[in-house]
Amino acid sequence: MVESPNREPVILVVEDDPHSRNFMESSLELSGFKVLCADSVESARELSGNVGLATISAVVSDYRLPRDSGTAFVRWVREQDGALASIIITGQGEKSIVEESIAAGVFHYLEKPVTHQQLREVVWSAVENTRLQRKYVADRKGLQALEHLGQSMNVVVPELLKDRLSVLYRPLHEVGGDFFITHEFGKGRFVVLMGDISGHDIRSGYVSTYFQGMFRGSLEGSARIANALDLFNRSLRQQALQESDHAESVSLSLSAIDFGPQDDYIQHWNFGFTPCQLVSREGRIRECPFGRFPLGWMEEISTMPVPIRVKGNNLLYIFTDGLLEFANTLNINYFSLLYRFLRSHNPWEGLQQAPTDDILAIRLNLIPDLPLTQSFEPILSEHYAGTEVDHVDQLQANWRRCITFALDDRLGDRLYDLLICIREGMLNALTHGCEGSSEKFAHLQICVNEDKDVLRIYIDDPGRGHAFNLEERLAKLSEQTGKHLGLGIIQHLSDEFRVENKGTSLVFDFEVNPVG
Amino acid sequence: MEQNGLIQHSGHLIEGHVDERKGRLLVEVKDDVTSSQVPELRRGLMQITQAAGFDTWKDLYLDMRNSRMIDSMGINWLFAETVRLKENKKRMVLRISSPAIYRVVQFAGLDKLVILKFRRRKQTR
C-alpha cells in the first residue's frame, strides 16, 4: 500500500488502564497522529481487522493486558504484516519482559512512566521504520515480478525449435544483464541472439531490456542483423560520450546465429563473447575462433558474419563467461556443468556455491530431425601443456570430479578403469607428443552418447606420431613390460580402442549405464 | 630398525613388518600405485627389504587393498620387484580388492609371476 504523505499516520494503542490509555491518546494526537484505542488483545485484533493493518503505521501496546500479553499481540501483528513496527510498554526493571519483547520482534520498548516527549520520539521513529519497510517490501515484490518476467522472456523458444534448442538461464539478481532472443523469419529460418551487458547491477538489467526491445523491434521490422548490430554499436558509443567521466560506460557482448533448414553454413556474429563450441557427429569438440571486440568499444565495426560449416557437426554450444566463472568456482569443466544442468529441472538446488555472474547458455542441435540422445554430448574439453605431466595426479582428480559431476555413479567401479586409461593416454601425449614442453598442448575430450550408452574419450597430441603400425604391435604385445604397455592397458580396459593420425590421436570408448 | 613392529624407512606410502612365525614380510601400500607414487614405493620397499634382511621370511605379502588404481609404471615396478625377489628365492603374494587393478594385473600377465589374492571390495575413496 502506498500511504498518502498528507494523511496523519494512524497509531493503534492497546492499553487496559483507562488513565494510561487517555494519556497516550492525547499525547499522540498532540504529536500529529490519528489514534485508535483498544483495551485488550481481542479488541485490538478486531479493530485491526476492521480498519486493516495496512492503514496502521505503528502499534503501541502495554505488556500487561487481560488474558493475553502485549508481546502475544506483537507476534500476531508481525505474522500479519512484518513491516508494521510495534512498541511495548513495560514496568521498570522488567528485564525478562524486555528480552521476550525483543524476541517477539518489537521495534522498541518504553519503561513506565512514559513521558510525552519519549512517546512522541519513539512513535515517530516507528512510523518512519514502517514506511521504509513497506517501501522495501513493495520494491522487492516489483523486482521479483521483473525476475519472473525476465526468466520467462529469456527461455522462450519457438515451437519449431523446441526439439533443437535448450536454454540455461540464471540472472545474478532479479534483473539480469544477459538476454536471449529468437526470431523466426519463416520457412524454418531463425535468428538466435545472446547478449551480455557489462556489469552485474540493476542498471545492466535495464540496459539489457532496452537492447532486447531494440533488437526485437528491428527484427520485426525485417531489418538485417548487420544493420541492427551497427545501430547497437552507435547507440552505445553515443551513450558513452554522454556519460560523465566517473560513470562506467556500458558495452554489449553479443553472439548471434542465422540459420535455415537446408543451409550448409550457419552465419555467426561474435562481439566479445566466449567462442562457441562445435561438436562433431563423432563427438570431437572444436572451438570456433575468437570474436571481435564487444559492441560499444570501437567507433567502426565489421558486421560481416563468420560462416560455421554444418556438415559433419551435430551440436553447437554458446554461453556467456558467467558459465565459465561458475564452473571455475565449482572446480569442474564447464561442459560437465552444462551436461548436468541442461538435463535437470532444478539445476541450482542443493549446490553449495552460488554463481557470481549471470549465466546464459544454449545448446543447438544442428541436425533438425536427429534426437539429441543420438549425438555425442561433451562433458569435458581441456588443453594441457606438456609441463602438466608433473601434475598428473591433480589432473586426474579433476577428470574424476568432472565425470562424477556429470554422470554420478553411472560408471560404477569402471570409473577406475577409465581413469587409468585417461592417465595412460595423457601421460603418453604429454611426455611424447608434447615432449614435456610448455609450448605444446594436448587436448583431452570426453563425451557421452546416451542412445549408445557410450562414453568416448579423445586424446590428441601435437607430435609427429609414429611410422609403425601400433595396432599390430599392440596385438603382438608379448613383452608386457615393454614400451607400449600403457597403450596396451587402454586397449585391454576399454570397450573399443583405436589410434588415428599416426598415433597422435587416441580414441577409446567405455560403456555407461543407461540413465534411470 | 623396528619400532612398534614397523620397519622404519623414509616416506609414508608404504609400511612393513615381519611375521616371523609365518615367515612373511607384510608390506602395506597406502595409496594408488601410479607413476607419481612409484619412485617412493620403490625406495620404500627397497629400504624395508634391506632392513628386514632375507633370513626371517619367505614370502612378501604386498597388501594393495587400499589402492584403487595401478598404471603401467606401477606394473613395471611390480615386475622389477618380482624379479628381485626371485633372485633372492622369495615369492610375492599380491593382495588386491580393486577390480580395476585386477584387470590390469591380469592383462599384464603379472598374475602368472605372483600369487594373486583378489577379493572384490567396493571402492569408497
pLDDT digits (tens, 9 = 90+) for A242-265: 765 556 678 888 999 999 888 899
Q: Does A272 touch chain B (CB under 8 A)?
A: no
C-alpha cell at A212: 532486447
Residues of chain A with pLDDT under 50: 1-4, 480, 516
Q: Which residues of B touch A421 (CB under 8 A)?
A: none
What's the confidence (pLDDT) of residue A369?
Answer: 82
What's the confidence (pLDDT) of residue A472?
Answer: 67
Q: To the nearest whole angstrom, how far is the Cα of B66 from the nearest Cα of chain A?
A: 13
Nearest residue on chain A to B109, judged by CA atoms?
A: A480
How far, in Å, CA of B55 to CA of A249, rounded? Answer: 81
In chain A, positions 357-396, which contact chain B (CB-CB < 8 Å)?
392-393
Q: Which of B72, B103, B109 sits opposite A424 (nearest CB)?
A: B72
**Digit-coded pLDDT (tens) for A421-452:** 999 999 999 999 999 999 999 999 999 999 99
Q: The pTM is what? A: 0.74
Residue A489 DSSP label: H
What's the confidence (pLDDT) of residue A480?
Answer: 47
What's the confidence (pLDDT) of residue A185?
Answer: 81
Q: Which of A413, A416, A485 sits opposite B75 (nearest CB)?
A: A485
* Short-list B41, B38, B34, CA closest to B71: B34
C-alpha cell at A171: 540472472
| Cβ–Cβ below 8 Å for B107 and A420 | no
Contacts of A254 (CB under 8 A, 6+ apart): A193, A194, A195, A196, A229, A232, A269, A270, A271, A272, A273, A294, A295
| Cβ–Cβ below 8 Å for A423 and B98 | no
Instruction: Specify whether the CB–CB gap between B76 and B34 falls below 8 A.
Output: no
What's the confidence (pLDDT) of residue A1?
Answer: 41
| Amino acid type, A109 | Y
